[in-house]
A and B are shown apart, each in its own frame.
Chain A
Amino acid sequence: MIETNVIQVENLTKKFGDFIAVNAITFEVKRGEIFGFLGANGAGKTTAMKMLIGISSPTSGNAKVADFDVFTNSEDIKKNIGYMSQKFALYDDLTVKENITFFGGIYGLSRKKIEEKRQLLVEELGLQNIVNELVGSLPLGWKQKIAFSVALLHEPKIVFLDEPTGGVDPITRRQFWEMIYKASNNGTTVFVTTHYMDEAEYCDRVSIMVEGKIEALDTPKKLKEKFKVNSMNDVFLKLARNIE
């Protein structure tokens, strides 16, 4: 596979009045990569991510996602990405099946394709018994797994995950990461933000944001060597402390 960048960001900045939420960040993400986007609360992760998925316009800088410019072609970007956040997964008052149909439909999948995808999904996740249940009645872990699958329905080039495993148990988190690996093996680029430093170890490369800037960006292994520590947790603490 040719190594190409699916996300290319240069000096991307977002200001809210005098406050600089994202301060001239520069990085790129390669095709098929699992890219961990780390940072403390309020470091600017979510703001940065919102610019990349086209729901927040940048103040300055350049960014291309799936070869489309975030300033001028944000609607084209949306056709090529999937998005899932911790805050919202699916419509609680629709059944699993209805959610699949709806999201498949608005991404322009044909009825036949939606049906195929649904059967595949039901089989893979073992949803036979709950496919006609309201999503609101399912445990969080299930919701997150289904939401991730729904975000991949239209086979996006990149999937953005905003703290996807917040509040779920370790076993579900493990299963969730297996799903992420699988998506990555199928050629989908995964852009994921997380608080869990053990999850950071699973990523191909991670960036760590502190106060609006990217302070470190490399593979987990190289970062640990550079900071001479044994875990990503320590890397994170060391970085955050240095800034203070």
Chain B
Amino acid sequence: MNTILYIVQKEFKQIFRNKGMLPIIFILPLLQLLILSNAATFEIKNIKFSYIDNDKSSNSRLLIEKFDASTYFNVISNFSSIKEAKAAMSKGEVEVILEIPINFERQLSNHKDTDLSITINAIDGAAAGVQSVYINQIVQTFNKNITISLSTPTENKSSTKIIESIPSFWYNITLNYKTFMVPGILVLLVSMITLFLSGMNIVREKEIGTLEQMNVTPIKKSQFIIGKLFPFWIIGFVLLTIGLVISKIIFNTPMVGSLWLIYFYTAIYLLVILGMGLFISNFTDTQQQAMFIAWFFIVIFILMSGLFTPIESMPYWAQILTEFNPIKYFVEIMRMVMLKGSNFVDIIPLLIKTLFYAVIMNGLAVWSYKKTN
């Protein structure tokens, strides 16, 4: 026990004597949260909108005003012909073209169905989908008798059946994207920094040669590993705390569930990440190698965590792969507890998986660390 204390003491001294360390712990979380939470959003604003008004009636002007009033659309130009409009789209000047047919007003006043033609630049399919939904919403609130004939480069015709649905959004009532993103980005922050720091730490001792010196001492493998990982475990909590405070102050992110539950889960989750870092460092000889491998895993874990793209939309085999992704668990837990208010019982399945993962990772780490070659 005493031995572990001596190692922990030494590690903390070395960590804080490293000039780059304090900015990493305090500034990085702030930057990451501020930049990513604002940047990583699926909301599309300021869509470059153009129209061709063949009707030139008060109704058609009213519709266009609706678009203009929306924060999502910037009405930037009107064209006299579809040819002109398409030329502008291929130059990238406009993203959406709305064509209002002649007799638009007359059809509406006769309570007859009428068509609007919409052209959307669908190079970014996801964005085009979102734009199409926005347009539909605006048009539907304008008049339910209008059917939109949508033309995108993929020529997907929207259904002409008019079915009205009344959505009721739970947990994130205002559909605020930041509320959704911030908990996930907190996970990134905690995971990335602790994985990199722990992964590099032991390799660094290998590089300097001090690891050999440690191997000649009677330190037990477990003592050494616990002594090495404990400081990063603490740093993980510090990062989480800083992140939570920032997200509360700046984004006013809700904390519906128990804060203690988040900390409790993090305590176990960090063991997975630290064990992984240690495992990486046992198989590498230089800090560069360790960094590359840590990056490799972090990038895959992040992209497959459901943070930026929903796991439900991944192919089946990829969904199975995500079961081995600790970052996915944490993202899920954070969203569940912070936004839905899930309690301990709700997270038990994920907790067990994480615990299992932690045991395996640390088992591998201890096993692969050899004092004698």
Contact = CB atoms under 8 A, between A and B. Distances in A.
Interface of A: 50, 53-57, 74-75, 78-79, 81, 83, 85, 87-88, 91-94, 98, 101-103, 105-108
Contact of B213 (A57, A74, A75, A83): A83
A93 B18 contact: yes
Nearest to A74: B372
B212 interface: yes
Interface stretch (B6-14, B75-83, B113-121, B278-286): B6-14
Given A88-B212, A94-B14, A105 B2 contact: yes
Interface stretch (B216-224, B292-300, B322-330): B216-224
A85 B6 contact: no
B371 A55 contact: yes
A68 to B, nearest CB: 12
Nearest to B370: A55
Secondary structure dominating the interface of B: helix
A152 B11 CA distance: 23
B275 to A, nearest CB: 22
A106 B14 contact: no
Contact of A55 (B3, B5, B212, B218): B212
- The 10 residue pairs across chains A and B that have the minimum distance between CB atoms: A105-B6, A88-B209, A83-B216, A78-B218, A87-B209, A79-B218, A55-B215, A102-B10, A93-B17, A56-B373
Contacts of A87: 209, 212
23 contacts: A54-B216, A54-B371, A55-B216, A55-B373, A56-B373, A75-B220, A83-B216, A87-B209, A87-B212, A88-B213, A91-B10, A91-B210, A93-B13, A94-B13, A94-B17, A102-B7, A102-B9, A105-B2, A105-B5, A106-B217, A106-B218, A106-B219, A108-B2
B208 interface: yes
Nearest to A147: B213
B373 A88 contact: no
Interface residues of B, number: 25
A105 B2 CA distance: 7
Contacts of B208: 88, 92
Contacts of B6: 101-102, 105-106
A94 B213 CA distance: 15
A56 B371 CA distance: 8
A151 to B, nearest CB: 9
Contacts of A54: 216, 371-372
B244 to A, nearest CB: 31
B216 A108 contact: no
Nearest to A102: B10
Nearest to B224: A106
B372 A55 contact: yes
Contacts of A57: 372-373
Nearest to B10: A102
A98 B10 contact: yes
A61 to B, nearest CB: 16
B14 A91 contact: yes
Contacts of A85: 209, 212-213
A54 B370 CA distance: 11
Interface string B198-237: 0000000000111011011111100000000000000000
A75 B18 CA distance: 32
Contacts of B371: 54-55, 74-75
Contacts of B215: 55
Contact of A88 (B210, B218, B372): B210
A91 B17 CA distance: 12
Given A105-B3, A106-B6, A98 B210 contact: no
